[in-house]
Amino acid sequence: MSPQNPSDTPLVDVRHLVRTVQDAGGELTVLRDITFSIQPGETVALVGASGSGKSTLLGLVAGLDVPTSGEVWLDGQSLFTLDEDARAAVRASRLGFVFQSFQLMPSLSALENVMLPLELLGRRDARAQAVAMLERVGLGQRLGHLPRLLSGGEQQRVALARAFVVQPRLLLADEPTGSLDHATGEAVLQLMMDMNREQGTTLLLVTHDLKLARACQRVLRMDAGQLVEEDAVAAEET
């Protein structure tokens, strides 16, 4: 059943998620009974060592994978009652993504990369909105550049522009500064948090960097497929 009071509805509501896979040794449990919720406008960091299940959980929240059992509700919609086409439509209209490896289309210019999600939504103002967003991230002079002609920091700013241009309800960021040097990473993180506040977007940030996690309001820590919730200060001290 969906939540009864719309005013109390979390934007993200994860209920008893379990994910198991088969490997050479038999069945491996990647996620164990994960339950948490995120309120609209909240910023949450998901931290943990490599292999703890962070990226698997992020993929399930996005509806990119299907759990062995459990539910994910996104903006009042139960994701796994939908088929893949319907989940893809939800992702296109409500989610933004930022990845460590940028995931830009190499044959498209910065402008074309940012226009693409708008064009897929049938937006007639795709070019104007993409130009404005690239100017917002400081790349107004790089519109025609292919990704290979941009620095890592510039590529990630294009990725931020692409994520925010659709005005997503939820931004999913997977190690967004992991491929960048310290100074560039801090600048990209600050830009992402500023844009998140400007648009009132809800943020779920996956990182192994506890300092990075402190930029968020709340920290969820993964450990061997299980979830421990704590505040950012406590997370840094562990």
Q: What phi, psi does 234 have (nearest 5°)?
A: -65, -35
Q: What percent of the chain clears pLDDT 90, i.e. is strictly above it?
A: 72
Q: How many domains does the chain have?
A: 1
Has residue 189 been placed in a domain? Answer: yes
| Residue 90 lies inside a defined structural domain of this protein | yes
pLDDT at 231 over 70: no
The string of pLDDT tens digits covering residues 157-170 is 999 999 999 999 99
25 falls within a domain:
yes
Asked if residue 114 is part of any domain, the answer here is no
The contacts of residue 190 (CB under 8 Å, 6+ apart) are none
Q: How confident is the model at residue 64 (pLDDT cuts 50, 70, 90)?
A: very high
Classify residue 42: in a domain, yes or no.
yes
Which residues partner with 203 through β-bridges? Answer: 43, 171
Mean pLDDT of the chain: 89
**Could you identify the residue written with the tokens 């002079």?**
141
pLDDT at 7 over 90: no
Distances, alpha carbon 228 to alpha carbons 24, 52, 204, in Å? 29, 12, 15
Residue 185 reports pLDDT greater than 60? yes
Across the range 182-204, mean pLDDT stands at 93
Residue 126 counted as domain residue: no
| pLDDT above 90: residue 156 | yes
d(CA 161, CA 154): 11
Residue 178 is assigned to a structural domain of this protein: yes
In the predicted structure, residue 79 carries a pLDDT above the cut 90: yes
Read off the pLDDT of each residue in 189-194 and give the average, rounded to a whole number. Answer: 93
Q: What is the pTM of this model?
A: 0.88
**Token pair listed for 1:** 């059943």
pLDDT tens, position by position, 99-147: 888 999 999 999 999 999 999 999 999 999 999 999 999 999 999 999 9
Average pLDDT value for residue range 64-73: 94
Here the CATH number for the domain that contains residue 57 is 3.40.50.300
User: What is residue 22's predicted lDDT score, i.e. its pLDDT?
Assistant: 83
Whether residue 3 lies inside any domain: the answer is no
Q: What percent of the chain has pLDDT over 70?
A: 92
Whole-angstrom Cα distance, residue 82 to residue 89?
Answer: 10
Asked whether the predicted pLDDT for residue 2 surpasses 70, the reply is: no
> At residue 200, does pLDDT exceed 90?
yes
Which domain, by its residues, includes 45? Answer: 10-103+152-237
d(CA 138, CA 151): 13
